[in-house]
Structure 1
Amino acid sequence: MRRTILKTLALAPAALAFPRVWAQAGKPEKSKLTIAVGGKNLFYYLPLTIAEQLGYFKDEGLQVEIPDFAGGSKALQALVGGSADVVSGAYEHTINMQAKNQIIESFVLQGRAPQIVLAVSTKTMPDYKSLADLKGKKIGVTAPGSSTSMMASYVLAKAGLKPSDVSFIGVGAASGAITAVKSGQVDAIANLDPVITMLQRDNLIKVVADTRTLKDTQAVYGGPMPAAVLYTHAKFVQENPHTTQALANAMVHALRWLTKAGPSDIVKAVPESYLLGDRALYLAAWENVRQAISPDGIMPEAGPATALRMLKTFEPSLADKSIDLAKTYTNAFARKADVKYS
């Protein structure tokens, strides 16, 4: 009996240690992160804001800093330059970067429709009749090279115009964009809500192409078009799988919350500055884009091919490139998160 007790006591430390080791197996390898974003106030990135404001990143053991840039192309530059670990940005950037021999991987989808609207100014183009009228004009985008300029370039290309036929002017994604239209600094604008709905309210724009709903997105792109995602270097995903999973968990948690949230929930969750001084209009804009938010964070099977087809329409640099779409995204993390929060 004495030998048995001593043997049990000798094994006790190892037995007690094992549960602690097992419990820490999924601990994020990198708990402090920087997520770059371009236009954080937009509904395009609302899941990111919800995950931050409701503490979902903290729940996953992450301490996240989210610097906000003028547009997605600027956020991408932060990742490439090493000042950001991850980007909340347009999926299309993963394709463009692969064409430059840099493997960037998306691991959770925020939007299943781009929500971008191309519209002309009723002030500077009151007699607008067709897209051909935009030749030689100035188009306001969040930032040159961003998803807004890509969408505008695609719509123009379908009408026989090249990106070089217009001038893209960076106007941001908030009050600066509204001012650019009001003052006549631009002749057209490619932007998102709530900016677009506010411009519509004041009859400052005429919508030319709209991708705020699944039906309109299908009409513009001819297939499902992924929007905002979280993406990073493929090497980061490989070296930090638990961190990547934690990020995906937080985002899918936010997506689940958004599928059930009412208007008052949204207003309480977002910073006051996002409302741009008009709560009712902000909520009206939210209803315009609500169905564009992904319910589960999973990339649709046909989405990447739609994005590649779109980019090849106006990007000569992609013409002779062989893009491996399987390297631009993974659904592994979103699927696990979806099970956790289903």
Structure 2
Amino acid sequence: MDRRQFLSGTTTLAALSLAGSQAFAQAAGAPEKASLKLGVGGRPLLYYLPLTVAERKGFFKEEGLTVEINDFGGGAKSLQSLIGGSVDVVTGAYEHTIRMQAKGQMIQAVCELGRFPAIAVAVRKEKAGEIKSPADFKGRRIGVTAPGSSTAILAQFAMVKAGLKPNDAAFIGIGGGAGAVAAMIKGEIDVISHLDPVIAKLEEDGLISTLIDTRTEAGTKALFGGSNPAAVVYLKSDFVSANPNTVQRLVNAHVKALKWLAAATPEQVADLVPTEYHLNDKPLYLKAVKNSLESYSRSGLVPQGGQESVLDMLRTIDPELAGAKIDLAQTFNGSFVRRATS
């Protein structure tokens, strides 16, 4: 799919999304909780760009919400903060809703932000001759945003598919910004499983050789055999039940962000985000944004096939989930997106 096709598909939905969210906002009552704490694991990453757009464009404020964004080292840490009660909502990987249900914690996604993982797995250029596929990851040091985060889980899934065990490599948390680039430059890791703009920066500098690329639909299908949803907005299920107006307005803001992204140019995105997101290389950031446009959700809804794909991935790498009874219908509540786009 090229950029023109992507924009064609998103622009129609986006127009409906904005009109629908504005109409619902006018009809909805006041938010039950107008001030929210939100957790995110690596805010500068393009994986979380819809969140940055919602904040920088003032969409939260338009919906009557004050959102304090807490940036953690990885998605697993954001999840821990939600469970611990220090944040109300998280933008993070959809897979967390499944993993927590298996542990008896009901977490519910309410809006899809990314329809592909947008994660690339790459090897240090000088080791490309000896590390040619995930089958060669045994005993290697793999840099991820944080152990237990989606970057680690995707790499583990690739290892299992290649005949290894999930713990056959050492997973090292390197964060989500310039520190991740530095870890590769310093030789602290052999392999990296990460996102743009980190991957784009390492590729541009000729430091890595990419083995797996789920920034595109083709790359995602090559690894998973189909779709595999990525970033979502998720909360505790009891919070969703107790605060429907708040959640609706939160979803409205993110739907507006997806709409804005559908029509935005890479230059507009680069001008919107904080300059430190560019990693001191704005032209490269523009390239990374252009390459990422295909990965953002076009509907805000997690498809059934995508839910099943993520569950299959988790069961492949996690023995605790292999026999667990999971009700996928409880992991995603699409009613808020449907109201925002109807």
Shift of the alpha carbon at 1:264?
2.1
Which one is further off, 293-302 or 31-40? 293-302
Structure 1: distance between partners of 2:218 and 2:129: 28
Structure 1: give runs of 5+ residues left out of the alignment: 1-21
Structure 2: distance between partners of 1:63 and 1:93: 25
Match of 2:337 in 1: 334
C-alpha offsets along residues 165-195 of structure 1, whole Å, 9 cap, x if unaligned? 1000000111111111111100100000000
What pairs with 1:62-77 in structure 2 (closer than 5 Å)?
62-77=65-80
Match of 2:108 in 1: 105
Match of 2:286 in 1: 283
C-alpha offsets along residues 180-223 of structure 1, whole Å, 9 cap, x if unaligned? 11111001000000000110111111111110011211111111
Shift of the alpha carbon at 1:97?
0.2
Structure 2: give runs of 5+ residues left out of the alignment: 1-24
What TM-score do the two structures reach when normalised by structure 1?
Answer: 0.91
Shift of the alpha carbon at 1:124?
4.5
Which one is further off, 245-254 or 201-210? 201-210
Shift of the alpha carbon at 1:311?
0.7
Letter in structure 2 aligned against 1:122:
K
Match of 2:17 in 1: none
Letter in structure 1 aligned against 2:56:
Q
* Residue 202 in structure 1 maps to residue 205 in structure 2: yes
What pairs with 1:1-342 in structure 2 (closer than 5 Å)?
26-339=29-342
Match of 1:3 in 2: none
Structure 1: distance between partners of 2:194 and 2:150: 9
The structure number with the bigger radius of gyration is 1
Structure 2: distance between partners of 1:45 and 1:216: 19
C-alpha offsets along residues 102-128 of structure 1, whole Å, 9 cap, x if unaligned? 110000000000100111112345432
Structure 2: distance between partners of 1:38 and 1:130: 27
Letter in structure 1 aligned against 2:37:
T
Whether the 8 Å contact between 2:141 and 2:191 is mirrored in structure 1 is yes
Structure 2: distance between partners of 1:282 and 1:322: 42
**What secondary structure sits across from 1:237 in the alignment?**
helix
What TM-score do the two structures reach when normalised by structure 2?
Answer: 0.91
**What secondary structure sits across from 1:259 in the alignment?**
helix
C-alpha offsets along residues 227-272 of structure 1, whole Å, 9 cap, x if unaligned? 0000010000000000000000000000000000012211121111
Whether the 8 Å contact between 1:125 and 1:187 is mirrored in structure 2 is no
Structure 1: distance between partners of 2:263 and 2:292: 15
Structure 2: distance between partners of 1:46 and 1:36: 14
Shift of the alpha carbon at 1:44?
0.5
Match of 1:5 in 2: none
